[in-house]
Amino acid sequence: MTAVSTETRKTGIEVVGDMPWGTHFCLFYETKEDLLEILTSYCKAGLESGEFCLWIVAEPLTVEEATGALKDTVPGFSRYLGDSSIEIVSARDWYLSGGTFDLKRVTAGWLEKLARASAQRLHRDESDRRYRLAAKKGLETLL
């Protein structure tokens, strides 16, 4: 049995509030603008918390609209995009690569993203630890 974390994370969505990692929820929206506001706030909170974000964009949005909205909402967004803290892909490309849905391929894609995000998180944690150690010892450079 796996222990469930009770530590909450910021969702960036005011009406939802903070939630434990792994929580699933559903929100309804009326307009494309509502959808963009909700999802950009959600991604912004994740990025600012050092989490990997994968936005699989489906209609009525396009990848270009999602990217543009994040550029307008998230300070330093190009840095997050450049260091692969976020990826934005179309639902058609993610789920229907080659024109067909292949559960094994999609599952493998999710597992690959999870493994990469976990590895990046471990690298970030180690870098943070080394920085804190260097700062504590008064070192000006990191080894």
pLDDT of the residue at 134:
45
Q: Which two tokens stand for residue 42?
A: 């959600």
What's the confidence (pLDDT) of residue 38?
95
Q: What is the pTM of this model?
A: 0.77
pLDDT of residue 100: 94
Task: Give the tens place of pLDDT for each residue, 1-16.
Answer: 455 567 898 999 998 9
Q: What are the CA-CA distances from residue 96 to residues 15, 39, 93, 106 (Å)? A: 33, 22, 6, 9
C-alpha–C-alpha distance, residues 35 and 135, integer Å: 42
What pLDDT, on a 0 to 100 scale, did the predictor assign at position 78?
95
Extract the residue ranges of the chain whose pLDDT is less than 50. 1, 125-143
pLDDT of residue 131: 44
